[in-house]
Amino acid sequence: MGLFDDLSRFLENRLEEFLRNNPHLELEALLEQLREQEEGTLKLIADLQLQEKRSQEEILSTAQEIQRWHIRIQKAKNAGREDLATAAGEREAALLREGNQRWGHMQGLKERINQSQELLRKIQQRRQEVQAKAAQAQTARAKAQTQQRFETSGWSNQTSSYSSSFDDLEEKFRSWETQDELEQMKRNLGK
């Protein structure tokens, strides 16, 4: 068991070190994590909104039932049937309690939707910030690579221009040395 813990710690340390040495990859990993959080939050909001819609339908149905029983109470009282009016009143009271509970549940759902939307807004804002940092890092990396290529090509260009000027100089010296040797031969022949 200790070996696996050691190996796990070692791999985590290597990963952290790798990400520190490659900050653009760390930003990409963070972006992916934020995308997943955003997707999860969007799914949660959609689920909560569906629950809210069902809750509203249940409340409407309960309100219609309450109205129906209220009318029955009046009918029973008008007909002199207090026994039915009392039972209908109890049913109406139970439906009112149920409606109040459903209303409270719906209000809780609305609050959770608002909180989730606020969380989504923060996640999206954070993702934009990280995307901006990633773009800056990308630009900086590209600039560094361009600079490195420029410096590398600068050295090779300097070498080639040095080599070509060296070849020109070599040619001049050979020509001068050949001319000098001819002059020497002429003098030697003239003696």
Judge contact between 159 and 45, C-beta under 8 A: no
Nearest to 23 by CA among 129, 123, 149, 138: 138
As a whole number of angstroms, the distance between CA 78 and CA 143 comes to 90
Give the pLDDT score at 150.
72
Residue 73 pLDDT exceeds 70? yes
* pLDDT tens-digit map of 23-40: 667 778 788 888 999 999
Contact 141, 24 (CB under 8 A): yes
Query: Contact, 13 vs 20, CB < 8 A?
Result: no
Average pLDDT of the chain to the nearest whole number = 84
Q: Find out whether 29 and 19 touch, Cβ atoms under 8 Å.
A: yes
**Residue that is written with structure tokens 């997943």 in the block:** 36
Res 23: pLDDT: 66
Contact 105, 96 (CB under 8 A): no
Give the tens place of pLDDT for each residue, 91-149: 999 999 999 999 999 999 999 999 999 999 999 998 898 888 888 877 877 787 787 77
